[in-house]
Amino acid sequence: MFPLSRPRRLRQHPVLRDLVRETTLSAADFILPLFVRPGKGIKKEITSMPGNFQLSVDRLIDEVGAAMDLKVNAFIFFGIPSGKDAVGSSAWAEDGIVQQALRAVKAAHPGAYLITDECFCEYTDHGHCGILTEHQGRLDVDNDLTLPNLARQCVSHARAGADMVAPSGMMDGMVATIRHELDNAGFTRVPIMSYAAKYASGFYGPFRDAAESPPQFGDRNTYQMDPANSNEAMREVELDVKEGADVIMVKPALSYLDIIRRVKDRFQVPTAAYNVSGEFAMVKAAAAKGWIDEKRVALEILTSIKRAGADMILTYFALDAARWLK
């Protein structure tokens, strides 16, 4: 007979627990989202996201430097422009706010890895993710009219110094269009991280405050995914992989761990997950009430996301977690 198995033997000593740990978490796993706006000397805390700020370019440089001191070296920029219009034209302007930020941060911190979110909700006066046309008596984003502008935005960011572009608008064909235009412009080495499985989630509320991008009417259910659907996510990811996506993202993360695991198991491609603003804010709010241990819960959440299959995690906890993990 085999001797009686006792798994608890491997839990008796902290050193042994470390040795047999299956999932490890480090600052190198994190991508820090940052919000940049026009002005100088601005560091405005986002009320619903404690410890996160709207930053002018000069303060953004400082924030990136402080993060790199903690070994967080990857960042994704979201722009808050000085003006908005119906098509979001400031998104591809040479002097656009993200373009300014890219050039300034690259000059100050050449070792930083800079990713740019590619969408139009921050740049349009209606708050939707592309050009609107009327369909069946209502305004909706026109997929095919939006694609050229999306590619134009990506090329503009690549010219300004973006190391990676991350289209987030869930437009059909966006990866193929962007890849074609990046290659034609000479940016064959710039990878694409596609928000391939982005759900129409209720967890985005604080982000819309941070980016000043709530839709002025309606919702985004016609282009973001139904939270009830899993097989649809596999079709979306497959399309983006075939079109040339280098990294696949699932957003949100915590309520979609099953999707992360399915993506990783099926496609075996680099996989990102976005630990979004609502997930962050809930932990912060409960911790402020004394109901939970913030450090323990946040690290447990981040570990679960990595355990599910994420290779990289976009998270507003990046700086706190980096400090805790030192």
DSSP string, 97-145: HHHHHHHHHHHH-TT-EEEEEE-STTTBTT-SSS-EEEETTEEEE-HHH
Scan for tokens 């911190």, then name that residue. Answer: 109
Q: Is 198 a catalytic residue?
A: yes
Q: Do the beta carbons of residue 31 and residue 270 sit within 8 Å?
A: no
Which residue among the candidates 40, 106, 251, 326 is catalytic per the annotation? 251
Instruction: Decide if 179 contacts 243 (C-beta within 8 A).
Output: yes
How far apart, in whole angstroms, are the C-alpha atoms of residue 78 and residue 81? Answer: 10
Q: Cis check for the bond before 252: say yes or no (omega within 30 of 0).
A: yes
> What is the β-pairing status of strands 164-167 and 113-118?
parallel
DSSP β-bridge partners for residue 79: 36
Rounded distance between C-alpha atoms, residue 15 and residue 34, angstroms: 37
Instruction: Give backbone dihedrals phi and psi of 223, rounded to 5 degrees, phi first.
Output: -130, -15
Active site residue 326: no
Dihedral sign computed on CA atoms, order 157, 162, 165, 167: negative
Considering the candidates 44, 71, 198, 264, report the single residue annotated as catalytic: 198
**What positions carry a catalytic annotation?**
198, 251
